[in-house]
Chain A
Amino acid sequence: MTARSGAPGPAAEGGVIGTDGLTALVDVLLARGFTVVGPTVRDGAIVLDELASADQLPYGWGVELEAGSYRLRERSDRAAFANAAGPQSWKSYLHPARVRQWRADRSAGQLVVGSDEPAPHRFAFLGVRPCDLRAIAVQDRVLVGGRHRDPVYEGRRTGAFLVSVECTEPGGTCFCVSMGTGPAAGPGYDLVLTEVTEAADSSDHRFWIRSGSPEGAEVLAELPLRPADPQTVSAAREGVSSAAGRMGRSMPAVDLHRLMAGTLDAPRWNEVAERCLTCGNCTMVCPTCFCTTTEDVTDLTGDHAERWRVWDSCFDLDHSYLHGGPVRSSAPSRYRQWLTHKLGTWWDQFGSSGCVGCGRCIVWCPVAIDITEEAAALNDWAGLRASADEVDGP
């Protein structure tokens, strides 16, 4: 909220930058010592990678998203951020897929344990979509919001600089509106951009930029900023509100927490399991899935040991292994665990939904299972059972 003294009329907050301002933003963040991570085109997808310059952003690229399908497409404009969620999410950096937790040496009967220092990286994430901004908030609750704090996540999350970009181009698998997570950015960003392309109003390609933290304001002050003019602000707002009306999918507007708790015996679990390959892709691409397992290794002498933590999936049989065998051996039970956790028991465990409506699990499912379709089918079944109970009841 920076009221500009001396500005004519009621000035909108923040300012406006062009693509040169975006270039300057990456340079300023690099100069401040951040490792800048953002979207870039590689291997036929828009992936997240370390950026040395804003030139690496996916200018002019969009994506076509459908269940089980992801395709790059060339856009008619030069938009940098008009592309919905890619295969990765920011958890790859904050909650890495593979990390050493500690090392231990055994010498003269003594055990000496040394914990690895937290990663020295200070990340700046450029292009955090509102759904993913919420996903980071969800993982904050899980990994550092309880009695024990995960030191790996905390070391990477503390001091991370988040540049959110409001969504003006949802994909066919997106449903953030029905999850209440987008397309406008919620709290938690240091800076937020709203992109206005040259096609929108035949003016230049530009970004309405605002800060959400003192550090964000400092960075903002270093950019070649123009005042936030009403035309840009209104085009930006229009872009976001129009995106809200173009969601490809939506979650049933019911209490999903209650729906999941009440449908554990639904026949739909068997139906979906006939299609589900239990491959775990949905859990790998999900920006909130946090499960990990541990690997203990030694060197050849047997005197040096390490503990590694790696991503795990509730679709893996070993996930529920208890002496004698897995608790969840059938595919229906494993799909049910994933969905009921994501939409239901996450509330009990962490006080929020585990789903942010990004649609990645739909896109990257090799057999095109759609979380919104499954939730709707469960809701239909619950409705049928409730009306049958009414007929049978007193």
Chain B
Amino acid sequence: MSTVPVPYRVLSSRPETPDCVSLTLAADGATLPAFAPGQFAMVYAFGVGEVPISVSVVGDGTVTFTVRAVGAVSAALCKLAPGETLGLRGPFGSGWNLDAADGSDVLVVAGGLGLAPLRPAVHRLLGRAARLAVLVGTRTPADLLFPGELAGWREQCRVEVTVDRPTPQWRGSVGVVTALLDRVAVGAETATALVCGPEVMMRHTADALHARGVPPGRVQLSLERNMRCGTGHCGHCQLGPLLLCRDGPVVDCAVSRQLLSVREL
């Protein structure tokens, strides 16, 4: 029953940045169906509450969620130690449409924590896409997620990182992530873009991709709204005609571009 959390045990809790933790989980009994990249779970911290979090790694018998401590529930999740249990419901929503990306040029554009939902898509795309470029924007060098893994990806695809606020030691790019688009060569007409980050970043990225000739139907955004149920019954995740827990969170720009341009929709 998709309304009742299933107990999962924390196998490892790995600090990623000063406020982000990756929790790798295994079922403590009954197992949920496999998560697809881009899908999310409702993650329950005992007695505190539940938040929607996209899957960060789809493992063999395990699943990993990368959580930023921004509220009571996420802070409680970040404090969980190996061996402790939490509740999980899901998988919910539409994942990244990776079939559309098969054999084509793929641009993965992440802002901040937005890299986490894109991570399992990259895992699937390495070796599958014709040309793959991963563009990451983050606030400061310390906020960069998965730096070790990004270094590994660099051997198989193009990886570019930019920060808003550099430290004296930072030797990389500074500025918004859309500025990185000009550095990568893709066949715009046939390229697929997967984008996740703050809404304002996604809006600008979608506009920049549009300006470079990538058709809106080939730009996939992972959108976010308040979610309470995940099952399409609570009404919170509406974005105009969409219920994002059901019709999203991944929605292509042909559908979402106009909706995101309406204030307070």
B198 CB to closest chain A CB, in angstroms? 10
Q: Does B151 contact A (CB under 8 A)?
A: no
Q: Does A121 contact B (CB under 8 A)?
A: no
A151: chain B residues at CB < 8 Å are 1, 3
Contact check, A111 vs B246: say whether CB atoms are below 8 A apart.
no
Contact check, A113 vs B231: say whether CB atoms are below 8 A apart.
no
Contact check, B236 vs A293: say whether CB atoms are below 8 A apart.
yes
Contact check, B232 vs A147: say whether CB atoms are below 8 A apart.
yes
B156: chain A residues at CB < 8 Å are none
- Contacts A291-B236, A292-B234 given; does A102 touch B4 at CB 8 Å: yes
A112: chain B residues at CB < 8 Å are 7
Mask, B1-19, CB within 8 Å of A = 1, is 1111111000000000000
CB-CB contacts below 8 Å: A110-135 with B: 110-113, 115
Query: Within the assembled complex, what's the spacing in Å between the Cα atoms of A83 and B83?
Result: 61
Contact check, A111 vs B86: say whether CB atoms are below 8 A apart.
yes
Mask, B218-236, CB within 8 Å of A = 1, is 0000001110110111111
Question: How many chain A residues have a CB neighbour from B under 8 Å?
Answer: 49
Q: Does A305 contact B (CB under 8 A)?
A: yes
Q: Does A349 contact B (CB under 8 A)?
A: yes
Contact check, B235 vs A290: say whether CB atoms are below 8 A apart.
yes
Question: Which of B47-55, B128-136, B175-183 binds A?
Answer: B47-55
Contact check, B228 vs A292: say whether CB atoms are below 8 A apart.
yes
Q: Does A98 contact B (CB under 8 A)?
A: no
The majority secondary structure among interface residues of chain A is: mixed
Contact check, A109 vs B226: say whether CB atoms are below 8 A apart.
no
Interface residues on B, range: 35 or more
Q: Does A143 contact B (CB under 8 A)?
A: yes
- Contacts A148-B2, A292-B229 given; does A319 touch B236 at CB 8 Å: yes
Contact of A296 among B2, B49, B264 (CB under 8 A): B49
- Contacts A113-B4, A148-B2 given; does A345 touch B47 at CB 8 Å: no
Q: Does B262 contact A (CB under 8 A)?
A: yes
CB-CB contacts below 8 Å: B41-73 with A: 44, 46-50, 70-71
B1: chain A residues at CB < 8 Å are 115, 151
Contact of B240 among A150, A293, A302, A345 (CB under 8 A): A345
Q: Does A88 contact B (CB under 8 A)?
A: no
- Contacts A142-B233, A314-B235, A330-B264 given; does A104 touch B224 at CB 8 Å: no
B84: chain A residues at CB < 8 Å are 109
Query: Within the assembled complex, what's the spacing in Å between the Cα atoms of A152 and B50?
Result: 19
Contact of B233 among A109, A115, A143, A264 (CB under 8 A): A143
- Contacts A296-B48, A345-B240, A348-B241 given; does A322 touch B234 at CB 8 Å: no
Q: Could you list which residues of chain A lie within 8 angstroms of chain B, going by C-beta atoms?
A: 101-102, 104, 106, 109-113, 115, 142-143, 146-148, 150-151, 264-265, 290-294, 296-298, 302, 305, 307, 312, 314, 319-323, 327-330, 332-333, 337, 340-341, 345, 348-349
A-B contact pairs, 11 of them (CB 8 A): A102-B3, A104-B5, A106-B47, A146-B231, A146-B246, A148-B231, A148-B233, A264-B262, A296-B47, A333-B263, A348-B240
Q: Could you list which residues of chain B lie within 8 angstroms of chain A, going by C-beta atoms?
A: 1-7, 28, 44, 46-50, 70-71, 83-87, 224-226, 228-229, 231-236, 238, 240-243, 246, 262-265
Beyond A110-B28, A294-B234, A312-B228: 16 further Cβ-contacts under 8 Å? A102-B5, A113-B6, A115-B3, A292-B229, A293-B228, A293-B236, A296-B49, A312-B234, A321-B226, A327-B225, A327-B226, A328-B265, A337-B238, A345-B238, A345-B241, A349-B238
Ranked nearest first, the 10 interchain pairs of A and B with the lowest CB-CB distance are A348-B241, A291-B235, A333-B264, A148-B231, A298-B47, A111-B7, A111-B85, A305-B47, A345-B241, A296-B49
